[in-house]
Homo-oligomer: A and B are copies of this chain.
Amino acid sequence: MTQISRREQNRIEREHRILEAAMTVFAQSGYSGAGMDAIAAEAGITKPTLYQYFESKEALFSAMMRGFRNEMLDVFQHPSDEGMVQDLYLFAWDYADTVMRPDMLALARLIIGEVGRFPEIGRYYQEAGPDRLLQGIMTYLDSCRAAGRLEFQDAELAAEDLWGLILSAPRTHALYKPDLVPPRADLARFIHNGLRVFLRAYSTRPADDLTQLEKLTRLPPPASTGDA
Protein backbone atom coordinates (compact mmCIF):
# COMPACT_ATOMS: atom_id res chain seq x y z
CA MET A 1 0.00 0.00 0.00
CA THR A 2 2.98 2.26 0.21
CA GLN A 3 2.34 4.09 -3.01
CA ILE A 4 4.81 6.64 -1.78
CA SER A 5 8.11 4.84 -1.76
CA ARG A 6 10.86 5.70 0.63
CA ARG A 7 12.79 7.06 -2.31
CA GLU A 8 10.12 9.46 -3.28
CA GLN A 9 9.85 10.54 0.31
CA ASN A 10 13.57 11.27 0.45
CA ARG A 11 13.40 13.07 -2.83
CA ILE A 12 10.78 15.43 -1.55
CA GLU A 13 12.59 16.11 1.69
CA ARG A 14 15.80 16.73 -0.16
CA GLU A 15 14.13 19.06 -2.57
CA HIS A 16 13.00 21.12 0.37
CA ARG A 17 16.50 21.13 1.76
CA ILE A 18 17.82 22.26 -1.60
CA LEU A 19 15.35 25.08 -1.88
CA GLU A 20 16.16 26.28 1.62
CA ALA A 21 19.86 26.07 0.91
CA ALA A 22 19.36 27.95 -2.33
CA MET A 23 17.52 30.68 -0.47
CA THR A 24 20.32 30.97 2.05
CA VAL A 25 23.10 31.10 -0.49
CA PHE A 26 21.33 33.27 -3.06
CA ALA A 27 20.33 35.71 -0.35
CA GLN A 28 23.91 35.86 0.86
CA SER A 29 25.66 36.14 -2.48
CA GLY A 30 23.11 37.20 -5.10
CA TYR A 31 22.33 35.27 -8.21
CA SER A 32 25.69 35.60 -9.96
CA GLY A 33 27.66 35.34 -6.75
CA ALA A 34 26.08 32.12 -5.63
CA GLY A 35 27.81 28.92 -6.74
CA MET A 36 26.01 25.70 -7.43
CA ASP A 37 28.70 23.96 -5.39
CA ALA A 38 28.02 26.26 -2.49
CA ILE A 39 24.30 25.57 -2.69
CA ALA A 40 24.89 21.84 -2.89
CA ALA A 41 27.24 21.97 0.08
CA GLU A 42 24.71 23.98 2.07
CA ALA A 43 22.11 21.33 1.28
CA GLY A 44 24.53 18.57 2.26
CA ILE A 45 24.86 17.06 -1.22
CA THR A 46 27.07 17.52 -4.23
CA LYS A 47 26.58 19.33 -7.48
CA PRO A 48 25.49 16.54 -9.82
CA THR A 49 22.78 15.52 -7.37
CA LEU A 50 21.62 19.09 -7.46
CA TYR A 51 21.31 18.91 -11.24
CA GLN A 52 19.16 15.82 -10.83
CA TYR A 53 16.64 18.03 -9.13
CA PHE A 54 16.98 21.23 -11.11
CA GLU A 55 18.24 21.36 -14.64
CA SER A 56 19.99 24.68 -14.33
CA LYS A 57 20.90 27.47 -11.98
CA GLU A 58 18.19 29.66 -13.42
CA ALA A 59 15.58 26.92 -13.01
CA LEU A 60 16.57 26.52 -9.38
CA PHE A 61 16.40 30.24 -8.80
CA SER A 62 12.95 30.50 -10.34
CA ALA A 63 11.65 27.48 -8.48
CA MET A 64 12.92 28.88 -5.20
CA MET A 65 11.29 32.23 -5.83
CA ARG A 66 8.01 30.66 -6.75
CA GLY A 67 8.27 28.40 -3.72
CA PHE A 68 8.23 31.38 -1.44
CA ARG A 69 4.67 32.14 -2.30
CA ASN A 70 2.99 34.60 -0.08
CA GLU A 71 3.43 33.64 3.52
CA MET A 72 2.13 37.10 4.15
CA LEU A 73 -1.23 36.12 2.78
CA ASP A 74 -4.55 37.17 4.11
CA VAL A 75 -3.40 38.88 7.22
CA PHE A 76 -6.89 40.12 7.76
CA GLN A 77 -9.92 40.59 5.61
CA HIS A 78 -12.98 40.91 7.76
CA PRO A 79 -13.82 43.12 10.70
CA SER A 80 -13.75 41.30 14.03
CA ASP A 81 -16.02 41.85 17.03
CA GLU A 82 -13.24 43.58 18.90
CA GLY A 83 -13.63 46.83 17.05
CA MET A 84 -11.65 48.65 14.42
CA VAL A 85 -8.87 50.07 16.53
CA GLN A 86 -7.91 46.71 17.93
CA ASP A 87 -8.18 45.13 14.49
CA LEU A 88 -5.79 47.69 13.10
CA TYR A 89 -3.46 47.36 16.04
CA LEU A 90 -3.21 43.59 15.83
CA PHE A 91 -2.94 43.71 12.08
CA ALA A 92 -0.08 46.18 12.29
CA TRP A 93 1.89 43.93 14.60
CA ASP A 94 1.12 40.86 12.57
CA TYR A 95 2.26 42.51 9.39
CA ALA A 96 5.33 43.99 11.02
CA ASP A 97 6.34 40.64 12.47
CA THR A 98 6.10 39.05 9.05
CA VAL A 99 7.70 41.75 6.99
CA MET A 100 10.58 42.38 9.38
CA ARG A 101 11.58 38.75 9.72
CA PRO A 102 15.24 38.42 8.69
CA ASP A 103 14.49 35.85 6.03
CA MET A 104 11.73 38.00 4.56
CA LEU A 105 14.05 40.98 4.45
CA ALA A 106 16.76 38.88 2.84
CA LEU A 107 14.27 37.72 0.23
CA ALA A 108 13.18 41.27 -0.48
CA ARG A 109 16.81 42.37 -0.82
CA LEU A 110 17.52 39.53 -3.20
CA ILE A 111 14.52 40.30 -5.39
CA ILE A 112 15.21 44.02 -5.50
CA GLY A 113 18.83 43.36 -6.33
CA GLU A 114 18.05 40.89 -9.12
CA VAL A 115 14.95 42.49 -10.54
CA GLY A 116 16.95 44.07 -13.33
CA ARG A 117 17.86 40.62 -14.63
CA PHE A 118 14.64 38.82 -13.65
CA PRO A 119 11.84 41.32 -14.13
CA GLU A 120 9.15 38.66 -14.06
CA ILE A 121 10.18 37.68 -10.55
CA GLY A 122 9.72 41.23 -9.35
CA ARG A 123 6.26 41.31 -10.84
CA TYR A 124 5.40 37.89 -9.43
CA TYR A 125 6.53 38.81 -5.95
CA GLN A 126 4.72 42.14 -6.06
CA GLU A 127 1.49 40.44 -7.04
CA ALA A 128 1.79 37.51 -4.66
CA GLY A 129 2.85 39.61 -1.67
CA PRO A 130 2.33 43.36 -1.44
CA ASP A 131 -0.51 43.62 -3.95
CA ARG A 132 -2.56 40.89 -2.33
CA LEU A 133 -1.96 42.36 1.06
CA LEU A 134 -3.01 45.77 -0.17
CA GLN A 135 -6.21 44.25 -1.46
CA GLY A 136 -6.87 42.79 1.97
CA ILE A 137 -6.32 46.12 3.65
CA MET A 138 -8.53 47.86 1.11
CA THR A 139 -11.34 45.40 1.70
CA TYR A 140 -11.11 45.91 5.41
CA LEU A 141 -10.95 49.69 5.19
CA ASP A 142 -13.91 49.68 2.82
CA SER A 143 -15.95 47.78 5.36
CA CYS A 144 -14.99 50.33 7.99
CA ARG A 145 -16.12 53.10 5.70
CA ALA A 146 -19.40 51.29 5.07
CA ALA A 147 -19.87 51.06 8.84
CA GLY A 148 -19.30 54.79 9.13
CA ARG A 149 -16.07 54.41 11.10
CA LEU A 150 -13.66 55.80 8.50
CA GLU A 151 -13.88 58.47 5.86
CA PHE A 152 -11.93 58.58 2.59
CA GLN A 153 -12.34 58.86 -1.16
CA ASP A 154 -9.78 56.42 -2.44
CA ALA A 155 -9.38 53.11 -0.64
CA GLU A 156 -6.10 52.33 -2.36
CA LEU A 157 -4.53 55.55 -1.19
CA ALA A 158 -5.83 55.00 2.32
CA ALA A 159 -4.35 51.51 2.37
CA GLU A 160 -1.01 52.75 1.07
CA ASP A 161 -1.04 55.45 3.72
CA LEU A 162 -1.58 52.90 6.46
CA TRP A 163 1.30 50.79 5.29
CA GLY A 164 3.51 53.82 4.64
CA LEU A 165 2.88 55.26 8.08
CA ILE A 166 3.47 52.05 9.95
CA LEU A 167 6.24 50.20 8.19
CA SER A 168 7.92 52.31 5.56
CA ALA A 169 10.51 53.73 7.94
CA PRO A 170 11.63 50.64 9.84
CA ARG A 171 11.60 48.49 6.73
CA THR A 172 13.61 50.95 4.68
CA HIS A 173 16.18 51.16 7.44
CA ALA A 174 16.30 47.41 7.75
CA LEU A 175 16.83 46.96 4.02
CA TYR A 176 19.99 49.04 4.21
CA LYS A 177 21.32 47.52 7.42
CA PRO A 178 21.24 43.75 7.30
CA ASP A 179 23.37 43.38 10.41
CA LEU A 180 21.03 45.39 12.57
CA VAL A 181 17.80 43.69 13.58
CA PRO A 182 15.51 46.44 14.82
CA PRO A 183 14.41 45.81 18.40
CA ARG A 184 10.73 45.34 19.07
CA ALA A 185 10.55 48.60 21.01
CA ASP A 186 11.50 50.52 17.84
CA LEU A 187 8.75 48.82 15.91
CA ALA A 188 6.29 49.74 18.66
CA ARG A 189 7.28 53.37 18.31
CA PHE A 190 6.48 53.40 14.59
CA ILE A 191 3.35 51.32 14.87
CA HIS A 192 1.86 53.44 17.65
CA ASN A 193 2.67 56.67 15.90
CA GLY A 194 1.53 55.44 12.51
CA LEU A 195 -1.83 54.34 13.80
CA ARG A 196 -2.24 57.60 15.67
CA VAL A 197 -1.68 59.63 12.51
CA PHE A 198 -3.85 57.35 10.43
CA LEU A 199 -6.77 57.59 12.83
CA ARG A 200 -6.37 61.34 13.22
CA ALA A 201 -6.59 61.71 9.45
CA TYR A 202 -9.21 59.10 8.61
CA SER A 203 -11.40 58.27 11.59
CA THR A 204 -14.92 59.62 11.90
CA ARG A 205 -14.48 59.70 15.68
CA PRO A 206 -10.77 60.37 16.17
CA ALA A 207 -11.01 61.29 19.84
CA ASP A 208 -12.60 57.97 20.87
CA ASP A 209 -10.30 55.93 18.67
CA LEU A 210 -7.16 57.64 19.90
CA THR A 211 -8.18 57.04 23.50
CA GLN A 212 -8.68 53.39 22.76
CA LEU A 213 -5.38 53.20 20.94
CA GLU A 214 -3.67 54.72 23.97
CA LYS A 215 -5.00 51.89 26.11
CA LEU A 216 -3.71 49.27 23.71
CA THR A 217 -0.26 50.81 23.43
CA ARG A 218 0.15 50.74 27.18
CA LEU A 219 -0.02 46.96 27.15
CA PRO A 220 2.95 44.89 26.10
CA PRO A 221 2.96 44.19 22.35
CA PRO A 222 1.21 41.00 21.23
CA ALA A 223 3.33 37.87 20.98
CA SER A 224 5.06 37.39 17.65
CA THR A 225 3.18 35.01 15.39
CA GLY A 226 6.27 32.87 15.17
CA ASP A 227 9.03 32.19 12.72
CA ALA A 228 8.80 30.24 9.47
Query: A124: shortest Cβ distance to chain B, in Å?
Result: 10
Contacts of A130 on B, CB cut-off 8 Å? 172, 176
Distance in angstroms between the alpha carbons of A31 and B28 in the assembled complex: 13
Q: Which residues of B contact A177 (CB under 8 A)?
A: 115, 119, 122-123, 126
Number of interface residues of A (CB under 8 A): 47
- Tell me which residues across on chain B come within 8 A of A110, comparing CB atoms: 113
Q: When chains A and B are docked, how far (Å) is the Cα of A119 from the Cα of B177?
A: 7
A73 at the interface (CB under 8 A from B): no
B193 touches A125 (CB 8 A): no
B193 touches A201 (CB 8 A): no
Digitize A93-112: 1 where CB-to-B-CB distance is under 8 Å, 0 elsewhere: 00000000000001001111
- The reply to whether B176 and A126 form a contact with Cβ atoms under 8 Å apart is yes
Q: Mark A141-153, 1 if CB is under 8 A from B, else 0.
A: 0000000000000
Q: Is A164 engaged at the interface, CB distance under 8 Å to the other chain?
A: yes
Given A122-B178, A126-B177, A169-B160, are A29 and B32 also a contact pair (CB < 8 Å)? yes
State which of B32, B113, B193 has its C-beta within 8 Å of the C-beta of A157.
Answer: B193
CA distance A205 to B200 in the complex (A): 14
Q: Is A64 an interface residue (CB 8 A)?
A: no
Return the contact of A33 from the options B32, B154, B164 (Cβ within 8 A): B32
The minimal Cβ–Cβ distance linking A173 to chain B, given in whole angstroms, is 7
9 A-B residue pairings within 8 Å (CB atoms): A30-B33, A30-B116, A111-B176, A113-B113, A115-B178, A123-B177, A157-B190, A168-B168, A201-B201
